[in-house]
Structure 1
Amino acid sequence: MKLLKKFYKNKKVLITGATGFKGAWLSLWLKILGAKVYAIGYSPNKNKKLFFSLNLQKKIKIKTLDIRNYKKLKLFIQKIKPELIFHMAAQPLILDGYKKPYFTYEVNTLGTLNILEASRNVRSIKSLICVTSDKCYESNYSTIGFKENDKLGGIDPYSGSKASAEIIINTYFKSYFGKEIKFGIASARAGNVIGGGDQSPNRLIPDLVNSLNKNKKIILRNPDFNRPWQHVLEPLYGYLILGINLYKFPKKFSGPWNFGTEKNTVTSVLKIVKIAIKKWGYGELKIRRNKKIYEQTNLQLNIDKAKKILKWKPKYKIKESVELTIDWYKKVIRKKYTPEQITKKNILEYMNSK
């Protein structure tokens, strides 16, 4: 972790989607590392409560901006002249993708295009990481894990929008790298991220915690679905390492990267809920299956590339990730810690872990 502190201190970093769940955690982490953080947020945003509860509006320079507005986005990037960009702004929910497909494609696909085009000739930029999703792959019903060169696809609008973004990222790298573009461009694929402060509706952990806090039954629609659940700090650590390597060796580290869990660690929704209930201390659940909305039954990323080349690997087992997440909510709800205190504590403990 000494490398992170040494590299990011005083670096000028732009985060899009900073008022989102992962964006807020990354913003605070970069401030702890001593970076000069600039941020783009969007309103309305279900997760902006976390951003403000971390007092980030006092620590970083935030601009409320819709990434679909290319003109304003370009002017902002040209004005601040960042060295690194973490593009995380997105419509992040599968269910909302079904409800608002056009909006989902606009934000996730055209929004990414706007970031790439707005950054193309900004000389200060050395690293651009576009965060997509593990859902960008076409389902092949494999249990061995998707590799970065597997076929892109997506049956639902959200997955399709992320696969489309991946194609755009690749075409920009192949078409312009070494010509106008002099910096590294990479996509980061992760999913099923959990952690304290997530307020997104129709996500397992926020819905679960809400039910536990109100002493209501936890409703499960897909108890048998298996996912590579990971704590939010795991992929963020990967993004930070990738940012350093892109900055120093742009050609070598450009391209797609998977950040997930170790092999054979996918865990069912039902098992996650049981771990959470035990950590919380009480709770009841009820299964109400939903067959109308398609989601992949099994989903696993192959992370061999990141482990071998970036020397990144997950630090927490899935059980630890769930327990750490539930502990965050318990301590905040019961007023033992403020969101800022417990989030800082989680980050520092992660940095100091082996």
Structure 2
Amino acid sequence: MSSPTSSEFWKGKRVFLTYPTHFLGAWTALSLEHLGAQVFGFAEATESVSSSGAVRLFDLANLGQRISMTYGDLRDEETLRQALQFAEADIVLHLGEMGLLTDAEKKPLEILSKSVMGTGTLMELLRETASVRSVVVAGSDKVYARTPDNRATTENDKVAAGDVFPTAKLCAEFVALSYRSTFFTPAKYNKHKVAIATARMGSAIGGGDFAENSLISQAVQSFIGKKTFEVRNPHSVRPWIHVLDQVAGLLSLAQALFDKGPRLAETYNLAAVEFESVGEVVKEFAHIWGDTRSSVSGADAGPSTLSLHGQMSGDLAAEQLGWKPQWDLTKALTETARWYQDYYSGNSSPEQLGAGVREYFRS
């Protein structure tokens, strides 16, 4: 099954992408490059490595040389203005501030400031950037208020403050949508020609994620070291989606905004459709990897409990964007295992590390 995104559409498009140094951003940049777009990245120079010093996909794939990068703080109006003027972008993908929970606990004000003021600065400068037609701002699946029946949340459900990171993402959404209502209103689209929407999504799996708290990264390290992997909360049921399915969702939304303008909704859930317990996923991943040493901790003996923040409805995206995840869990885990096995076996050329993009977006 081919991707809903069109290579004919993206060929030659100029795309301004914030935070290509992050996991999702790197895969987005690789995908755009594969589809023939010209990519202009913007991120802080220190964001090319994690807080623990682990190298990220951005460096491994040599993206710093493959795309046009500007390094700076989104809150720095002049640096951002110059980058936008140079890019003359058709489309802006604002992936926003990301990081570890420990980072949020250590510097919550900085994270909130970057999300709110960084997004605000970007939106303000778009008022003087005549080339942009489509803007997507990435949000979080954890912005929804808890529902007593734990049903799948829709875009019209109530949102609420939570941990610092999802709250910061929600604030960024509100800033973008306030500019949509005030300066880029759909009623005056023929005058400004800018269509804006936000996309809510959760954590994804895929190669190149070296975060210390990543389940897949931890499992890979145990396989490489031939050590038993003890899983915390193995009965916890979570949504699972490959990062390239999320990228395809972002690109599908950006393309639809470009083509259809204000006829779209202001927010879309890019939702996973598969739910499985952590323990079962690790067992399947170990089987795909070929490792028999992993085990599941029995510390959590309770029944399977679906994450209250994990179940979103993707019906709107399917109906209006023609998007839904293409890779099932087995395929997602297989491609993820292949990436790490290639990397640790020395097949780590930038071209090889981005091979999954060619597989995903094949004709």
Normalised by the length of structure 2, the TM-score is: 0.87
Q: Does 1:284 align with 2:291?
A: no
Instruction: Tell me the residue number matched to 2:303.
Output: none
Q: Residues of 2 paired with 1:271 and 1:146: CA distance?
A: 25
Identical aligned residues as a percent: 30
Q: Rate the CA distance shift 1:286–1:315 in 2: closer, same or farther, 3 A.
A: closer
Instruction: Tell me the residue number matched to 1:35.
Output: 37
Cα-to-partner distance string for 1:99-134 (whole Å, 9 max, x where unaligned): 332222122333222221221231100111111111
Cα-to-partner distance string for 1:294-340 (whole Å, 9 max, x where unaligned): x95551110000111111111111222122212210121112x3253
Cα-to-partner distance string for 1:40-94 (whole Å, 9 max, x where unaligned): 1223233663112212223211111122323321232123221111111312333
Instruction: Tell me the residue number matched to 1:227.
Output: 238
Q: Residues of 2 paired with 1:220 and 1:68: CA distance?
A: 40
Map 1:14-29; keep pairs closer than 5 Å: 14-29=16-31
Q: Residues of 2 paired with 1:192 and 1:138: CA distance?
A: 18
Instruction: Tell me the residue number matched to 2:281.
Output: 272
Instruction: Tell me the residue number matched to 2:357.
Output: 347
Alpha-carbon RMSD: 2.3
Q: Rate the CA distance shift 1:74–1:352 in 2: closer, same or farther, 3 A.
A: same
Would you say the 8 A contact 2:91–2:134 is kept in 1? Answer: yes
Would you say the 8 A contact 1:143–1:299 is kept in 2? Answer: no
Q: Residues of 1 paired with 2:317 and 2:204: CA distance?
A: 17
Where 1:323 maps in the other structure, the secondary structure is: helix
Among 64, 67, 70, the alignment partner of 1:63 is 70
Instruction: Tell me the residue number matched to 1:326.
Output: 337
Instruction: Tell me the residue number matched to 1:50.
Output: 57
Would you say the 8 A contact 2:196–2:266 is kept in 1? Answer: yes
Q: Residues of 1 paired with 2:146 and 2:73: CA distance?
A: 31
Instruction: Tell me the residue number matched to 1:92.
Output: 99
Q: Residues of 1 paired with 2:100 and 2:235: CA distance?
A: 19
| Structure 2 unpaired stretches of 5+ | 301-305
Map 1:105-120; keep pairs closer than 5 Å: 105-120=112-127
The one-letter code sitting in structure 1 at the alignment partner of 2:120 is L
Identify which range, 168-177 or 39-48, moves more after superposition: 39-48
The one-letter code sitting in structure 2 at the alignment partner of 1:350 is Y
Cα-to-partner distance string for 1:148-205 (whole Å, 9 max, x where unaligned): 1111123211121122222222211111124584311111111121110012221211
| Structure 1 unpaired stretches of 5+ | 290-294
Q: Residues of 1 paired with 2:140 and 2:192: CA distance?
A: 24
Paired residues, what number?
Answer: 345
The one-letter code sitting in structure 2 at the alignment partner of 1:193 is A
The one-letter code sitting in structure 2 at the alignment partner of 1:31 is E
